[in-house]
Amino acid sequence: MQELYGRLSEKSRRLYAGVEALKLPHGGVSYIAQLFGCSRDTVGRGIKELGEAETLTGNSNRQPGGGRKPLLEKRPAIHDVFLRLLKDHTAGDPMDEKVKWTNLTCAELAKLLAEQGFKVSRNIVRKLLKTHGYVKRKALKKKSAGGHVNRNAQFTRIAELKAAYEAQGNPVVSVDTKKKEKIGQLFREGELYTTETIEVLDHDFPSLAEGVAIPHAVYDIARNEAYVSIGTSHDTAEFACDSIRYWWNNYGKLHYAYATSILMLMDGGGSNSSRHYLFKQELQALADEIGVEIRIAHYPPYTSKWNPIEHRVFPHITRALQGVILTSLQLAKELIGNASTKAGLKVVACILDKVYATGRKVAVGFKESMRIVFDKHLRQWNYTAVPEKTALAID
């Protein structure tokens, strides 16, 4: 419609706008005026002319270039006034002079211009903003919050480990905890196709929740499969290792019956913190139980988005949960388990309803007796939990 409107003569535009406005209920004139970028008066005149028989047969088109000039051409001084007004309401990026933004709305700018003698509509303000490079955009989370001197060295080490494990046929998994989801009649972001309006509580305080779902996932990179354990109490080191234990006992050892080692890629914080020995203690117990060594490679600080599970699994789980009111853990489990992609991602979910205590301390003497072997290079991010039977065989 906009393309056709742009190709018509001035008179034909008025008539076409009038025809389309008459098709619509109350508010049609305003809608068509906004759609075609003309004034309500133009649409109204078109409607009036449609009722005059002689208009339809007459030939009163203006010559090319005739008619009233656009305000931005008729009063070019408006540009300088507009930029001067923006100057006091403009912020920018101290590292890039090209990046600027304003906190004023179109209505506020129109009011300020009117005070300077330019009575304009919000549509004119939008044209001014666009002319001077101001386009409505969202901020993008792309800048790193920090860095580390050994960042690239650790990325290189992770790539070497992945290649070696894949060549040996040993599993490479990405591990992380997704954000908590509140259970109950609480508002959640997103939209759904529904036959009726969904009503929830008018506040979403945590105290109003009936429970919490904490999804901890193990993502098998080679198989493109994610195994999600939904906790119901706290995201602790014990919970993280129980989730890994569930994956190995139910799926991992079946898919990798001859595995000699498991490579786990994970962030450096949270329940699997690279700095906390409580996680290493739980990891050591897990390695002893399954009889397979577990090698850990942590991503450096501020690089968690590079963890494969972050961009290959979690966005699709978020999409599966979007807009749904999580009235029960079972519903959360079903939705998470339904997450999939055209690339073949498969997600399996279960509920771990064990209560995990917080504030636990490392067992006395663990640091002296542990079988956690740290790499010589970048030892803070790379280490291996050696199972007891393997350690005895080496001795």
- Residue type present at position 76: P
Each residue's pLDDT tens digit, 107-129: 888 898 899 888 888 888 888 88
pLDDT of res. 95: 45
Q: Pick out the chain residues at pLDDT < 70.
A: 53-69, 88-101, 140-147, 390-395
Q: Which value, in Å, is the radius of gyration of the alpha carbons in the chain?
A: 32
User: Would you say 263 and 362 are in contact if contact means Cβ atoms under 8 Å apart?
Assistant: no
pLDDT tens by residue, 174-201:
999 999 999 998 888 887 777 778 888 8
State the pLDDT at residue 237. 95
Instruction: Fill in the DSSP letter of residue 70.
Output: P
Cβ burial, residue 232 (10 Å; 0-12/13-18/19+): middle
Whether the Cβ atoms of residue 70 and residue 78 lie closer than 8 Å to each other: no
pTM recorded for the entire structure: 0.68
Q: What does the pLDDT read at residue 326?
A: 92
141-315-249-238 Cα dihedral, nearest 10 degrees: 40
Tokens of 14: 């008025």
Tens digit of each residue's pLDDT (9 = 90 or more) over 287-311: 999 999 999 999 999 888 889 999 9
Going by the DSSP 8-state scheme, the letter that residue 268 receives in this structure is S
Tokens linked to 113: 């211009």
| SS3 (DSSP) at 68 | coil
Q: Please state whether 165 falls in left (phi above 0), alpha (psi between -120 and 50) or beta.
A: alpha
Q: What per-residue confidence (pLDDT) applies to 63? A: 58
* The predicted structure's pLDDT at residue 211: 92
**What's the pLDDT score for residue 62?**
58
If you search the block for the tokens 């002296």, which residue do you land on?
A: 368
Task: Tell me how far the alpha carbon of residue 130 is from its chain's centroid.
Answer: 27
